[in-house]
Structure 1
Amino acid sequence: MKNIFLVALAILCASATGCAQKKVSNAVDSAFKTKFSNATNVSWDKENDHEYEAEFKINGVNYSANFSDTGKWLETEQVITYEELPQSVKQSFMASHKDAKVKGVAKIDTSEGETRYEIEVKQLLSSEELFYDANGKELQDDDSED
């Protein structure tokens, strides 16, 4: 009986994982494959009515990329370490958030040619995302478009 339960649970989990994969249009799929031809472990999610996000790996590094529903690349987010941040970003962050506990860091490249950095910090029971431009200026939420 225990084995039947475990098999049923495994099938349920596999089904749920399969259902979590979002279908994307041919335009989005083609644009993604062109830009990230060496991506592995790709999974899709729908951000909103007109935007999709792919999560994937390249050479073991975690990335996510957003595309419009027409296939236009919008941005790519790459997981990096705190040490990989530009010195100007680290200095700005430490000046205003010196006691913050860093939870994660990412580099964001946009279709407009901008590079931003995201530092996720733990705050009591939640977390907050802080954004900086390449010069270390902290951006407000509306400046970061996230």
Structure 2
Amino acid sequence: MKASEWEVDSNGYWEALYSDDGREFRADFTKDGKWVETERSITFDDLPDAVKEGFRRDFGQEEIAEIEWVDNAVKGIFYDIELKKPGPNKDVEYNENGNRIEPFLAVVSEMTEPLGSGATRAMRTEEMSAVQLLFEFGFNLLTILIFAWAIYYRRHHDHKMLFLLLGFNLFLFPIFLLSTSLTIGFGFTVFALLALVRMRSDTFSKTEVAYLLGAVALTFINAILPARVEIASSIVVILAAYFADHPKIWRDGYRTTHIRYRIKDTTKMLDHNYLSRQLAEDFKIEVNNIEIERVAKNEVRMTVMYRADPAENPGEDSLRLPE
């Protein structure tokens, strides 16, 4: 077996063209003679049954430009199938068991591609099957429920803020997921919407702003990033919220909650000092600040910034006030 021709390919490797048992092969080597991979062109009928089934499962009857059998020094034997696409064609790889191989460089490329180009987004949504779309929507719903309800609401008990977190995520997620392009102007629109909500609502605390940005971040992550990066990034956001706002970690920090407080002396419903003293006595807490939101009959709705009084509750790290 002897190479009939040598040439330098587009990757800078020396490529040897040779024949073996009537079949044409191409072998790539580095400049110092290290073997990289060997490949040969084949037809769809030459593919193993498992690879055929895997391809039909993922891409149906999409048009194929070229198929190559590849023996790689790192990945071993796999099959490279080039799909015809508008513009550049797309290469997909399968191992001998019919499982699709996700190249690391492809993941990095998809992550770093400018949002405004839209190429990655269009390609991703076009390739999604019904099952994949259900997974994307289901995973996004799971992560935002953990983030907004299991973490935020169970700690702060503000149902309006819960609705805002869920609303931002669930309303914007389908737009991001199915859009073929995301421009800079679209990003400015999202942040303008955030600013409008803040202007037309009660003043947000720093904690609420952080949670709102987290919900928006989950929307972008779940809609735009590749699946494996999406899962890892979502877990990072959720863990950051869980630990950064955990009362056991910030034992001496103040917490904010919204409550409805019944008062006997209705003449002092707007007296901040009186309300602070009453809350401190009733719940054994140290009150830092209160903001009265609404007064009705003998009930005051207010936002309370507080922490457990170490002298009264030495073993408690948080306190749940009644809503």
Q: TM range, normalised to the smaller chain? A: 0.5 to 0.7
Give per-residue Cα distances to partners, 1:79-124, cap 9 Å, x unaligned.
1111111111110100110131011111101234710101111012
Displacement of 1:56:
4.2
- Greater radius of gyration (CA): 2
Task: Give me the whole-angstrom Cα distance separating, in 1, the residues matched to 2:51 and 2:2.
Answer: 30
Q: Indicate the residue corresponding to 2:166 in structure 1.
A: none
Q: Indicate the residue corresponding to 2:7 in structure 1.
A: 44
- Unaligned runs of 5+ residues in structure 1 are 1-36
Q: Note the 1:16-95 alignment, pairs <5 A.
A: 37-40=1-4, 42-48=5-11, 51-58=13-20, 61-95=23-57
Task: Give me the whole-angstrom Cα distance separating, in 1, the residues matched to 2:55 and 2:103.
Answer: 15
- Which residue among 131, 134, 139 is the counterpart of 2:93? 131
Q: Indicate the residue corresponding to 1:23 in structure 2.
A: none
Q: Note the 1:92-107 alignment, pairs <5 A.
A: 92-107=54-69
Contact 1:43 1:56 in 2 (8 A): no
Displacement of 1:59:
5.3
Of Structure 1 and Structure 2, the greater strand share is in: 1
Task: Give me the whole-angstrom Cα distance separating, in 1, the residues matched to 2:79 and 2:89.
Answer: 16
Task: Give me the whole-angstrom Cα distance separating, in 1, the residues matched to 2:53 and 2:76.
Answer: 20
- Unaligned runs of 5+ residues in structure 2 are 107-323
Q: After TM superposition, what 4+ stretches of structure 1 lie above 4 angstroms from structure 2?
A: 46-49, 56-60
Task: Give me the whole-angstrom Cα distance separating, in 1, the residues matched to 2:90 and 2:59.
Answer: 12
Give per-residue Cα distances to partners, 1:16-72, cap 9 Å, x unaligned.
xxxxxxxxxxxxxxxxxxxxx3333x13114446x3223444455332211111111
Structure with the bigger RCO (C-alpha within 8 Å, sep 6+) is: 1
Task: Give me the whole-angstrom Cα distance separating, in 2, the residues matched to 1:104 and 1:116.
Answer: 14
- Count of residue pairs brought into register by the alignment: 106
- TM-score, normalising length: structure 1: 0.62
What is the aligned-residue RMSD (CA, Å)?
Answer: 2.4
Match of 2:101, as an amino acid? L
- TM-score, normalising length: structure 2: 0.30
